[in-house]
């Protein structure tokens, strides 16, 4: 397996790893956004990027210095990243660029605000001044005076604070000065202080931490809850191999007892990966056991992509009593959106879902097999209809001259212990007629037929839906 795959195995609570993500995302993606200025301002013969969008109140070019200047509500959009500033300057000869005035950069990972940013688009070196960075997926806030990139993996921060508190005046934060970071190696800082509110609690004249992935204790967490009392959480990370690791958790609640958890992760190759989370607590207050299992596994079976997801608890009130015991503990740290739907707000869900999905793609479409089981959190699972199984077929839209055609078909067996159950068959073909390019007229005609064969009590029924819609579209370009 390649190193790019190994690098995805990062423990969410590893100190130092978070900081490198802030810096690498900030510089690499901010550079991409500023590079989009080049693409849009230089002549079309030099650059041609359809995915880039730049807008400003005024754009001018100084021929003597070969400098482009965009002023007033400058907005640069590149893929999923956006850069806003009052003014952006770019030298087309040296690739030196600067953004000033209400600089705001945002993508799926971070939101960064700064007074000014100076970057060389060719070397990707530069400085960001008086910046505030929010790392979304791990709820981390970093505030630094000057963040400088001196080399490919070398950064210096004059002074910075870090916290996970959302409040304007955080409950706690770390503060340090003369911070030196070498990606994939270590982070060094001087005069590091831990604050509760604005009161210094711990101080160290020198701090050093490795950034390479290695075994060790995670940063402990302290808290208090009206129902759980005093809370202390600790974790031990074990880097078993480059392609797998495990983390052991011990949680102490003085009103509930001791919770034990384990998270095992692996990425054997690009088509074989997964994770297993298990947790147990013997509630001393309610005198009963609580168990939770979350797991998923990706694998390609004979050219068929497949995945298995499991999410079960032994008590329907598990999340009302304990809350989310796996929050910020499960998943790969580079994931911003969980593709398997493990929510951190389980107590708000009506049921938990476990799935087995196997699909077989073919030229122009796919077929799939889906087994789905739902466990109720507020009602008996015996009354919830389970899709055991569902088989589907989808033919992608095909071009037939001025007309287009697609179709989907599914067959589902609904099963439950108590109540009506049976089978449902659904077919949905659509035909489209498209005319015109500058002004386009599209006519859609679809017919959906759904048939039910139900038992207990026995009932057969059908439903037809005739779908017809017309759309008229055109495109306006701003020059």
Each residue's pLDDT tens digit, 445-461: 999 999 999 988 888 89
DSSP of 92-148: TTT-EEEEEEEEEEE-SSEEEEEEEEEEETTT--EEEEEEEEEETTTTEEEEEEEEE
Residue 343: pLDDT band by 50, 70, 90 thresholds?
low
What pLDDT does residue 95 have? 75
Quick: pLDDT tens for 369-388. 999 999 988 767 778 889 88
User: Which one is predicted more confidently, 211 or 327?
Assistant: 327
Rounded to an integer, the average pLDDT of 421-447 is 90
Structure tokens at 251: 């949680």
Strand residues in 349-420 grouped as ranges (E): 351-362, 365-376, 386-400, 403-415
17-210: which CATH topology?
A: lipopolysaccharide transport protein A fold (2.60.450)
User: Which one is predicted more confidently, 45 or 198?
Assistant: 198
Q: Is the pLDDT of residue 36 over 50?
A: no
Strand partners, 131: 144
Number of alpha helices (DSSP H) and beta strands (DSSP E) in the chain? 3, 27
What pLDDT does residue 211 have? 61
Q: How far apart are CA 263 and CA 279, in angstroms?
A: 9
Q: Where are the domains of the chain?
A: 17-210, 216-349, 378-474
Do 67 and 60 touch, CB atoms closer than 8 A? Answer: no
Residue 154: pLDDT band by 50, 70, 90 thresholds?
confident
Residue 24: pLDDT band by 50, 70, 90 thresholds?
very low
Do 207 and 188 touch, CB atoms closer than 8 A? Answer: yes
Angle at 237 between CA 319 and CA 282, to 5 degrees: 35
Burial tier of 176 (Cβ tally within 10 Å: 0-12, 13-18, 19+): buried
pTM of the model: 0.59
- Residue carrying structure tokens 């210095």: 65
- Residue carrying structure tokens 């940063």: 219
Residue of 88, 67, 68, 66 lying closest to 76 (CA atoms): 88
Quick: pLDDT tens for 167-217. 667 777 778 888 887 766 777 889 988 888 788 888 889 887 766 677 888
Do 217 and 15 touch, CB atoms closer than 8 A? Answer: no
Q: How far apart are CA 166 and CA 111, in angstroms?
A: 14
Q: What is the mean pLDDT of the chain?
A: 80
Residue 32: pLDDT band by 50, 70, 90 thresholds?
very low
């Amino acid at each position: 397996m390649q190193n790019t795959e190994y690098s995805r195995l990062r423990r969410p609570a590893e100190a130092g790893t978070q900081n490198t993500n802030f810096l690498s995302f900030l510089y690499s993606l901010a550079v991409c956004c500023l590079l989009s200025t080049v693409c849009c301002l230089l002549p079309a013969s030099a650059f041609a990027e359809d995915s880039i969008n730049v807008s400003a109140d005024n754009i001018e070019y100084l021929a003597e210095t070969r400098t482009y200047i965009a002023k007033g509500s400058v907005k640069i959009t590149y893929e999923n990243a956006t850069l806003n500033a009052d003014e952006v300057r770019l030298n087309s000869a040296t690739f030196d660029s600067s953004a000033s005035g209400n600089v705001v950069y945002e993508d799926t990972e971070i939101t960064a605000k700064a007074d000014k940013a100076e970057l060389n688009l060719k070397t990707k070196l530069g400085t960001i001044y008086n910046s505030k960075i929010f790392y979304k997926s791990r709820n981390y806030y970093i505030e630094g005076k000057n963040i400088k990139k001196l080399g490919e993996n070398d950064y210096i921060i004059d002074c910075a604070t870090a916290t996970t508190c959302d409040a304007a005046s955080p409950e706690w934060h770390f503060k340090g000065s003369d911070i030196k970071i070498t990606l994939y190696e270590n982070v060094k800082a001087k005069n590091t202080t831990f604050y509760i509110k604005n009161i210094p609690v711990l101080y160290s004249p020198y701090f050093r931490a490795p950034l390479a992935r290695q075994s060790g204790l995670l940063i402990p967490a302290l808290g208090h809850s009206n129902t759980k009392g005093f809370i202390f959480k600790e974790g031990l990370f074990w880097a078993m191999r480059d392609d797998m690791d495990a983390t052991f958790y011990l949680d102490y609640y003085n009103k509930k007892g001791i919770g034990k958890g384990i998270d095992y992760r692996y990425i054997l190759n690009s088509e074989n990966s997964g994770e297993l989370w298990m947790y147990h607590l013997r509630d001393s207050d309610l005198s009963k056991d609580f168990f939770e299992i979350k797991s998923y596994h990706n694998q390609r079976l004979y050219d068929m992509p497949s995945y298995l997801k499991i999410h079960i608890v032994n008590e329907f009130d598990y999340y009302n009593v304990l809350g989310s015991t796996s929050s910020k503990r499960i998943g790969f740290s580079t994931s911003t959106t969980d593709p398997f739907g493990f929510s951190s707000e389980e107590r708000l869900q009506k049921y938990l879902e476990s799935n087995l999905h196997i699909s077989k793609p073919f030229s122009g479409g796919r077929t799939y097999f889906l087994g789905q089981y739902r466990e109720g959190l507020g009602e008996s699972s015996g009354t919830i209809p389970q899709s055991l199984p569902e088989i589907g077929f989808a033919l992608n839209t095909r071009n037939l001259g001025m007309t287009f055609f697609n179709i989907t078909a599914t067959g589902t067996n609904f099963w439950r212990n108590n109540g009506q159950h049976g089978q449902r068959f659904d077919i949905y073909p659509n035909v489209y007629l498209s005319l015109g390019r500058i002004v386009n007229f599209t006519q859609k005609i679809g017919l959906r037929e759904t048939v039910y064969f139900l038992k207990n009590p026995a009932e057969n029924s059908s439903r037809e839906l005739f779908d017809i819609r017309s759309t008229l579209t055109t495109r306006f370009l701003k020059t």
